[in-house]
């Protein structure tokens, strides 16, 4: 039985899990969706209620009947052959998604980490906040919209000020390079000039004063919690903006918080997830910010030695998982 890893070719975290699977003597094949249809082919036949066939690359062949689990790590999108018009390429990508993805997701008894449809739904932050509230977690007061007057109203009633953060990934590709939008505190000059707010939805949230932030990684039933201590003014607002300034250490969360996070995982149908929390200076209040269904953990494993990759490998191998 084979573990299928959907990941880019240059992904060190995927490398670590694949090595851990090799140590367990579990067959594993790594592919990137960008290989389809030019470097990878699908041959699938549905008969008598089952799929039969294979997935083939230049060096590997995976029988559909042999897939035991699929880890959706960081696959790129399908890459169509040159020579197609933009309309043809868009149509071909839709067909690839529904055909290739549909066959894989319909395979019986396969463990998905995570199922793409559930992960795609789980990225909606408003949905996350509702789930978190249902399970007793505290969410900072939050505003979403595009009305400049409403922004001023919301910010004017915030006890410690507000922050602006993206609702989606904080990366855009422009002028041949990636540009990053970090979480930022809005000061009076920002609130005095709200041009552009009406262009699209924005996420503005009460600033939660912090002793430290916390990333909690769920791998099936296993939980790895880490305190992330900021070492610079930039990382205090958004720790992702200055990794070199961070100090990370494993911690134990209160059981009520762990239980609430576990409830959110079940509510969203996720097997893997990385939560971001804020611990108040009082040491008692813990704020839920978000969950990323494919959130990074490699920097935490490197800093602390916690065996998250080994845990993922055991999960994908479908071994006993505490």
Q: Strand 67-72 and strand 171-174: pairing?
A: unpaired
Close Cβ partners of 13 (under 8 Å, ≥ 6 residues apart): 73, 296, 297, 298, 309
The per-residue b/e assignment along 223-258, b for 16 or more CB within 10 angstroms, e otherwise, is bbbbbbbbeeeebbbbbbbbeeebebeeeebeeebe
> What is the spatial distance between Cα 211 and Cα 283, in angstroms, rounded to a whole number?
7
pLDDT digits (tens, 9 = 90+) for 24-58: 999 999 999 999 999 999 999 999 999 999 999 99
pLDDT digits (tens, 9 = 90+) for 277-295: 999 998 889 999 999 999 9
With a cut of 50, say whether residue 320 has pLDDT above it. Answer: no
Q: What is the pLDDT of residue 177?
A: 85
User: What phi and psi, each to the nearest 5 degrees, are found at residue 306?
Assistant: -65, 135
With cut-offs at 50, 70 and 90, classify the pLDDT of residue 247: very high
Question: 2-113 architecture in CATH?
Answer: 3-Layer(aba) Sandwich (3.40)
With cut-offs at 50, 70 and 90, classify the pLDDT of residue 319: low
pLDDT, the chain, mean: 94
User: Which pair of structure tokens corresponds to residue 216?
Assistant: 């909690």
Return the number of other C-beta atoms located less than 10 Å from residue 94's C-beta: 11
> CATH for 210-316?
3.30.470.20
pTM of model > 0.75: yes
pLDDT digits (tens, 9 = 90+) for 255-271: 999 999 999 999 999 99
């Amino acid at each position: 039985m084979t573990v299928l890893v959907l990941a880019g070719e240059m992904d060190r975290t995927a490398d670590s899990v694949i090595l851990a699977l090799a140590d367990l003597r579990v067959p594993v094949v790594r592919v990137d969706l960008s290989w389809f249809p030019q470097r990878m082919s699908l041959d699938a036949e549905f008969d008598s209620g089952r799929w039969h066939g294979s997935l083939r690359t230049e060096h590997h062949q995976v029988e559909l009947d042999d897939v035991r689990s699929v880890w959706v790590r960081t696959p790129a999108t399908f890459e169509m052959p040159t020579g197609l018009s933009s309309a043809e390429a868009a149509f071909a990508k839709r067909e690839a998604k529904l055909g290739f993805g549909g066959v894989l997701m319909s395979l019986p008894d396969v463990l998905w980490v995570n199922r793409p449809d559930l992960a795609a739904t789980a990225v909606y932050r408003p949905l996350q906040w509702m789930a978190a509230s249902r399970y007793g977690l505290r969410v900072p007061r939050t505003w979403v919209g595009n009305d400049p007057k409403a922004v001023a109203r919301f910010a004017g009633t915030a006890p410690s000020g507000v922050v602006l953060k993206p609702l989606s990934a904080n990366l855009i590709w422009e002028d041949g390079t990636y540009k990053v939008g970090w979480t930022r505190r809005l000061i009076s000059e920002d609130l005095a000039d709200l041009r552009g707010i009406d262009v699209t939805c924005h996420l503005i949230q009460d600033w939660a004063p912090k002793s430290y932030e916390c990333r909690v990684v769920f791998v099936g039933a296993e939980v790895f919690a880490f305190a992330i201590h900021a070492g610079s003014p930039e990382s205090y607002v958004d720790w992702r903006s200055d990794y070199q300034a961070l100090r990370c250490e494993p911690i134990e969360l209160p059981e009520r918080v762990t239980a609430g996070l576990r409830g959110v995982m079940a509510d969203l149908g996720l097997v893997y997830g990385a939560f971001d929390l804020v611990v108040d200076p009082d040491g008692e209040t813990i704020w839920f910010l978000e969950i990323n269904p494919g959130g990074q953990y490699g920097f935490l494993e490197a800093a602390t030695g916690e065996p998250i990759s080994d845990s993922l490998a055991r999960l994908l191998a479908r071994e006993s998982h505490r």
